[in-house]
Structure 1
């Protein structure tokens, strides 16, 4: 792929934040701006998690090895948006009242599971570099980064329990996640190579864990 493509993808990933900033600047966030920001950052967290999980199946099915170069970027953007999601909650909603936040986590199931998903992403973001892969070793790194599956499921459940009645959007996320996880189950049961498209062999930087 051409060298300028990755910076373009990076800037595109910042698009949702830029859109929120533009709406905030123009007072166009509606009657409940905190809710709009919370829902938007939560949506984009799930979208980037699903895109991250889609990289490996797409690479194997199409043989397009260059896709692996974008997996870390998408994963880190998922973490970036979940941090914004959490900051919106603790800052704009709770005004850094840690006691009230902890009470919420203990009493409200959707916050409990959402907070769990957020915490699980922290070690994945920290250890996403090539240096950490060398320190942990490929197998241990892969095992650790399988937490992304649990985090994604926690995010979908968090959204489902939040909306309660209108589950259309979380259902869409659940279906996509189910397909991506189902692919991995099927791929693990097939003989090696059956799910891979023919492509020239070349080294990749990251272990193929997610």
Structure 2
């Protein structure tokens, strides 16, 4: 049963990309298809990141321990859509002119945050396997705590570029805070055992 659920989860994870590919061929991405594609891929990357971050709280609060089987999958789809987001920008907005990246980062500081988050993601992708987990041992968990910084940078990157309605980025900001703050509290309780009794 769990294998069937995982297959369905993988199928659903590919649906956003399929939608954008079909919409691009049908030319139904709106008045600014490049921007629609760039924004959509970036948001789906953020959705998968939030989904990955939600696994631990849900396991601890509701005892849904089997959810751990989906955390790595969600994390990899986050990285996959983030990669597509970056490639879309370099391809459709810069035309593969790599020398323009420096000037773009200066003109648009929110891009700097996005690039930093992307670079921070690379070591997580490279070590997202059991071999790396065994080799790195306790350092693996410390390395993968970079995901918290990546999530914050990703949200600021998104918030910074929104010029009109801030309701949506603020909503995602509250959701991200709700996923990160329990971790802060658990860390405090871990370092102060007397609080665990309360």
The alignment's TM-score, normalised by the length of structure 1, stands at: 0.87
Higher helix share: 2
Q: Contact 1:79–1:121 at 8 Å: present in 2 too?
A: yes
Q: Contact 1:46–1:173 at 8 Å: present in 2 too?
A: no
1:19 to 2:26 alignment: no
The count of residues paired between Structure 1 and Structure 2 equals 192
For 1:172, the equivalent position in structure 2 comes to 171
Q: CA deviation at 1:19?
A: 0.9
Q: CA deviation at 1:189?
A: 2.8
Q: CA deviation at 1:106?
A: 3.0
Bigger RCO (CA 8 Å, 6+ sep): 1
Q: Contact 1:105–1:111 at 8 Å: present in 2 too?
A: yes
RMSD: 1.3
> What aligned pairs does 1:24-173 form with structure 2 within 5 A after superposition?
24-137=24-137, 139-173=138-172
Instruction: Give SS of 2:99's match.
Output: helix
CA distance in 2, matches of 1:112, 1:3: 40
Runs of 5+ unmatched residues, structure 2: none
Instruction: Give SS of 2:20's match.
Output: helix
**4+ long deviations beyond 6 Å:** none
CA distance in 2, matches of 1:170, 1:180: 15
Q: CA deviation at 1:2?
A: 2.9
For 1:199, the equivalent position in structure 2 comes to none
